[in-house]
Amino acid sequence: MRSNSDYYDEHQRPPAWTCTTTSVADGAGGLSPLKRRRTRSLNAPSPVQQFGPCGRIMKTSALITTIQDPASQRLTWYKNPLTVLVIKKVRDMSVLPPFIELVRWLIQEKSMIVFVEHSVMEDTMLSSNSGFMEVREKLNSFQDGKDDLTDKIDFIICLGGDGTLLYASLLFQQSVPPVMAFHLGSLGFLTPFKFDNFQQQVTNVLEGHAALTLRSRLRCIIVRKNEDKEKPQPNLLVLNEVVIDRGPSPYLSNIDLFLDGKYITSVQGDGLIVSTPTGSTAYAVAAGASMIHPSVPAIMVTPICPHSLSFRPIVVPAGVELKIMLSPDARSTAWVSFDGRNQQELCADDSLRVTTSIFSLPSICAQDQISDWFDSLAECLHWNVRKRQKHFEELSDLAHSKYEDSLNSTSKDTLLVTD
């Protein structure tokens, strides 16, 4: 087994990072040292056009002035992808055979350098598999929270459900390599690929024949009351939503909501969901929000069980900044979670800042941006499924058939009485 350091001693290559946006990049500490205000747009921050060391959006002709439709973006490689990170669903034995088959094929047939989590190398179920042991020494491992994967991975393959894709988003807090997600979990809204024909599907992606859905992420910063406001604050990017709720408190949450510094309203209820268009089909839709296509630049604000009949979910432009604080007369603190993880307490005079990040997650489509989304709505959420209403000809035929059956029944009864 080789570590990251062993791999980069043998395959050192300079980072291929470029940024085509004029906005200040989302650094690990929030705003850049230049202290410039991030350029805002009523539509959305311009997303970075490069994903990992060698994936980027295909450019249109320089002779034509166009505004690229987010639903028409496609992946291209400016050099052949070399490294792939394979992430499998944890605590699920049914994923092990596909995982072994995939990594063996990537190493033996495609000669790729495969990265896996360190826990995979220590999995006792995998260690007893002869097929896995054949390629185990050729795998490279990493440890979450210790090893930096930025500019080291060309693309990602996820085996599992939507939670596996959310974990991949958590691993890459800046630029994310293109993600190819296979549906091997319980919910497959974000995982459009079937594993049956994975060889052909992965080959198509490696050859650059793939559509991309750029899934926007939210940049979240908690500013503490007693911390230096001039000091850069750590931020966290979320793919689905950030949730502010009352936690274990028996009292209603009392939260003030600001938009670009302007006070909007106070939220009294169980809490508030701030979600991306991708997250609109998750917790938000369960709380009564609408479903938004991931290519739409927007931020959705959804109350959780509000103590008001008129508080409905709202959609705001993706370029604004939301500030969320406890109201001065709040009876208790609030709790914040990011994609269901990293729960933190929000105390009096603390604030949560949320805006759209320039680092979106490039999700590879099985068909295209539109078909994948509507197929997921139909298959996973059974959207608009109902028994169809009969048209008039069917009703007429049905009535005529019942009338004939009634006549036949009457005739039989008459014959029996006569006999």
Cβ atoms within 10 Å of 418's Cβ, excluding its own: 6
124 within 8 A of 108, measured Cβ to Cβ: no
- Would you say residue 395 lies in a domain? no
Q: What radius of gyration, in Å, describes the C-alpha atoms of the chain?
A: 26
**Six-digit token string for 141:** 């491992």
Q: Domain range holding 238?
A: 218-356
Whether 14 has a pLDDT exceeding 60, the answer reads no
- Would you say residue 367 lies in a domain? no
Whether 186 has a pLDDT exceeding 90, the answer reads no
Q: 222 with 332, same domain?
A: yes
**Six-digit token string for 77:** 């490689």
- Can you say whether the dihedral through the CA atoms of 170, 172, 175, 176 is positive or negative? negative
Residue 134 binned pLDDT confidence (cut-offs 50, 70, 90): confident
Residue type at 171? L
pLDDT value of position 39:
45
CA distance 102 to 90: 16
Which residue among 162, 245, 339, 372 is the active-site one? 162
Return the closest-CA partner of residue 313 out of 362, 280, 340.
280
Q: Choose the final residue of a domain: 319, 338, 356.
A: 356
How many structural domains compose the chain?
2
**Which residues, 6+ apart, have CB-to-CB distance to 387 below 8 Å?**
none
Q: Domain with 136 in it: what CATH number?
A: 3.40.50.10330
- Would you say residue 384 lies in a domain? no
179 within 8 A of 158, measured Cβ to Cβ: yes
Q: What is the pLDDT of residues 236-290, one digit of tens each?
A: 999 999 999 999 999 999 999 999 999 999 999 999 999 999 999 999 999 999 9
Q: Choose the final residue of a domain: 158, 183, 215.
A: 215
Q: Domain with 312 in it: what CATH number?
A: 2.60.200.30
Q: 226 with 163, same domain?
A: no
Q: 171 with 261, same domain?
A: no
Residue 25 binned pLDDT confidence (cut-offs 50, 70, 90): very low
Q: 222 with 211, same domain?
A: no
- Would you say residue 17 lies in a domain? yes
pLDDT value of position 135:
87
Q: 26 with 115, same domain?
A: yes
Q: 190 with 287, same domain?
A: no
pLDDT value of position 211:
92
CA distance 335 to 328: 16
CA distance 350 to 274: 17
361 within 8 A of 239, measured Cβ to Cβ: yes
- Would you say residue 376 lies in a domain? no
CA distance 288 to 309: 13
CA distance 152 to 253: 43
- Would you say residue 418 lies in a domain? no
pLDDT value of position 68:
58
User: Would you call 162 a catalytic residue per the annotation?
Assistant: yes
CA distance 132 to 103: 8
Burial class (CB in 10 A: 0-12, 13-18, 19+), 88: buried
Q: 193 with 275, same domain?
A: no
Adjacency order of strands within the sheet including 334-338? 314-317, 298-304, 271-275, 241-245, 334-338, 341-346
Q: How far is CA 153 from the centre of its chain?
A: 19
Q: 193 with 272, same domain?
A: no
**Which residues, 6+ apart, have CB-to-CB distance to 329 below 8 Å?**
254
**Which residues, 6+ apart, have CB-to-CB distance to 1 below 8 Å?**
121, 136, 137, 139, 141
Question: How does the average pLDDT of the chain come out, rounded?
Answer: 83
Task: Write down the residue that tokens 């979600």 correspond to.
Answer: 275
Whether 15 has a pLDDT exceeding 60, the answer reads no
Flag the least confident range among 58-67, 228-237, 296-305, 355-364: 58-67
Mean pLDDT of 308-312: 93
DSSP state of 51: E
Q: 199 with 262, same domain?
A: no
- Would you say residue 143 lies in a domain? yes
Q: 228 with 204, same domain?
A: no
Q: 230 with 153, same domain?
A: no
Q: How far is CA 82 from the centre of its chain?
A: 24
**Six-digit token string for 193:** 């690929």
- Would you say residue 65 lies in a domain? no
Residue 199 binned pLDDT confidence (cut-offs 50, 70, 90): very high
255 within 8 A of 333, measured Cβ to Cβ: no
Kind plus residue range of the DSSP H or E element containing 348? none
Return the closest-CA partner of residue 255 out of 268, 243, 242, 264.
268
Q: 157 with 230, same domain?
A: no
Q: Choose the final residue of a domain: 215, 235, 268.
A: 215
CA distance 94 to 176: 27
